[in-house]
Amino acid sequence: MSQTQGGFTKQKARNIFWGGSVFFALLFTALIVNTEQHIPQRSHAADITPAVVRGKAVWETRNCIGCHTLLGEGAYFAPELGNVIERRGGEFVKAWIKAQPSGAPGRRQMPNFNLNEQQLDDLVEFLKWTGQVNTEKWPPNIEG
Amino acid sequence: MKPIALKYKSQAVAKLYFIAALALFAGQIIFGLSLGLQYVIGDFLFPYIPFNQARMVHTNLLIVWLLFGFMGAAYYIVPEETETELWSPKLAVALFWIFLVAGALTIVGYLAVPYAKLAELTGNELLQTMGREFLEQPLPTKLGIVVVAVGFMLNLTMTMLKGRKTSVGLVLMLGLWGLTLLFLFSFVNPHNLVRDKMYWWFVVHLWVEGVWELILGALLAFVLVKTTGVDREVIDKWLYIIIAFALMTGILGTGHHFYFIGLPGYWKTIGSVFSAMEPIPFFMMTVFAFNMVQRRRREHPNQAAVTWALGTSVIGFLGAGLWGFIHTLSPVNYYTHGTQVTAAHGHLAFYGAYVLVVITMISYAMPILRGREANPLRAQALEKKSFWTMSIGMGVMVLALTGAGVLQVWLQRLPTSGAMSFMATQDQLATFYWVRIAGGVIFLLGLLMYLASFFVGASAEELAQQPAHGGKGLKAAPAQRA
């Protein structure tokens, strides 16, 4: 083969693949182990109350991520909510959720999820906790 | 149009998978259009199909149809590479129906009942895994996916064990095993959102920027082996180097998702450095595909498949490589994170790398599964037109979304004081969103052309010419490439 003149064989290519992949997979694993040790402090894990846990379940079972972003991840159809408590306050968030859908013609509509007071409070607790996470100063400004 | 028989009878199961893949693809695009419309006509289809429901259907259909495509491809490739029949064609057919019915029920579930009700009905309480982007499937569906994947891998592995072991076969298997094992992280959902997000990327990133690239490389290499006749030794070497770079950059490249979700700051450096190199394997793929076609030793009658193969190598590089690079460095991503720039990249990358490689495979294998070496020339011409139409449609969409993203960053993210709110910004992006819909309509047109190409027969001249060439190659098809 003309390509093998440099002595670069398929076996060498395969060895680079295996050696490289295994090396980086191990390095990645080591970094994840290290990261795990930082997470409790960076996320204020001690503040994860039962209300925060229940709030996360409310968040998940209403598929909020299907329209909103949370810490920048999710759908890009509706506002970022990682800092929504800071931006709007908990009471506003609860009132907003209860008032949906707005029914304004042509505007994006948020469904009404018929949450009870407990669920609303839990959701706010979850978002409040999320707002405390050390995100390396993201988002750049309050608008998210 | 030379008649040809399958080398291994059991390869025939691939046909079911390919047909299902294309049907679900069409569904994905329809829902995509409705989502695009909701961006400009906010209450379109509300309250019947709220945005979040349509989006779940759109993204889940994408994943599922690509999986059907990969599975069909594997059922076609593995017998041919191992030179033996599938271990159990019956299992392959049974798993097909299980997967299809489970998938259809899940989609019906998304559309028919409120998501919270679906969670309740399907026992989300037992193990809470729902409500996370792309992993919205109810618990029974997730378990079903595991069952199907394990059965599928068992079938292929047993086939592999009794036959010849080629590099293409091994790389494909490695990619599929990786896909299966990494999916298990979809069951990991810690209470701590930060940890939840970190492990979520083990599925999402390590699939599309990790093990799926192995599958992509293997499918592309297989089709190039078959259509160019270039020596396997050469193609295998390229394949190994490409996937080596894919994993050496892609594994630590996961860090580009770890910048702003609560993980340590060192990921900003690691993610930036390694993900900046992620375009390398995609660039190599482009060079590889063009090189092999240039050095071809035969004129394969299926030139449409060659067009798709070259297309995936180029658009994969543009979408995954270039559009990924523009927002991957952490100082840039600080402003673009969670904007329409991400949407632009996501669309072009999935289309270029994965949609096109599955179509490459379907375009190569489907004629043979239908008993002929290649499609009639008129059908191939339509396929090529559909390639260009879809690609132009996608190009329009991606440029529009990129424009929207840049403006969004300008209005909402860059100002340190007096930044525009999210919704006010969205109003300013309406023109871009309309252009995006136009791109989507062109894309749908291209897809319909592709589907139509399956029903186009040979012209009278081509039929008349047929007995004239029983030999190799096809005189009537002068190397029309891309």
Looking at chain B, which residue has its C-alpha nearest residue A142?
Answer: B419
> Is this complex's ipTM strictly greater than 0.90?
yes
Nearest to B61 by CA among B96, B98, B93, B104: B104
Tokens coding A141: 């400004």
Residue A31 · residue B263 · CB < 8 Å: no
Q: Give the model's pLDDT for residue B466.
A: 74
Q: Give the model's pLDDT for residue B434.
A: 98
β-strand partners of B3: B372
Residue A5 pLDDT > 90:
no
pTM metric for this prediction: 0.95
Tokens coding B445: 């047109």
Q: Which of B128, B194, B259 sits opposite A57 (nearest CB)?
A: B128
Residue B313 · residue B220 · CB < 8 Å: yes
Which candidate in B231, B287, B422 is best for mutational testing of the A interface (most A CBs within 10 A)? B422
B134 Cβ contact partners less than 8 Å away, ≥ 6 residues apart: B59, B60, B63, B203, B204
Query: Other C-beta atoms within 10 Å of A29: how many?
Result: 11
Looking at chain B, which residue has its C-alpha nearest residue A51?
Answer: B191
Tokens coding B2: 């030379």
Residue B358 · residue B20 · CB < 8 Å: no
CA–CA separation, B431 vs A47, rounded Å? 44
Residues 110-139 of A with CB under 8 A from B: 110-111, 113, 126, 129-130, 133-136, 138-139
Report helix, strand or coil for A70. Answer: strand
Cis before residue A79, ω within 30 degrees of 0? no
Residue B376 · residue B459 · CB < 8 Å: yes
Measured between beta carbons, the chain B residues lying within 8 angstroms of A42 are: 194, 262-264
Q: Is B360 on the interface with A (CB under 8 A)?
A: no
Residue B46 · residue A109 · CB < 8 Å: yes
Helix segments in B83-138, DSSP class H: 89-112, 115-121
**B356-369 helix and B51-82 helix, angle to the nearest 10 degrees:** 50
Give the rounded percent of residues in chain B with a pLDDT score beyond 90.
Answer: 96
Q: Give the model's pLDDT for residue B267.
A: 98
A53/B340 touch (CB, cutoff 8 Å), yes or no: no
- CB contacts < 8 Å between A and B, how many? 229
Residues 81-100 of A with CB under 8 A from B: none
CA–CA separation, B113 vs B431, rounded Å? 34
CA–CA separation, B453 vs B458, rounded Å? 11
B294 Cβ contact partners less than 8 Å away, ≥ 6 residues apart: none
Q: Give the model's pLDDT for residue B478.
A: 44
Q: Which residues of chain B are modeled with pLDDT < 70?
A: 467-482
Q: pLDDT tens digits for B169-203?
A: 999 999 999 999 999 999 999 999 999 999 999 99
Q: pLDDT tens digits for B339-351?
A: 999 999 999 999 9
Report helix, strand or coil for B300. Answer: coil
Per residue in A67-105, is it b (16+ CB within 10 Å) or e — as a string?
A: bbbbbbbbbbbbbbbbbbbebbebeebbeebeeeeeeee
Q: Is A25 on the interface with B (CB under 8 A)?
A: yes
A17/B240 touch (CB, cutoff 8 Å), yes or no: yes
Phi and psi at residue A70, in whole multiples of 5°?
-130, 115
Looking at chain B, which residue has its C-alpha nearest residue A34?
Answer: B264
A24/B193 touch (CB, cutoff 8 Å), yes or no: no
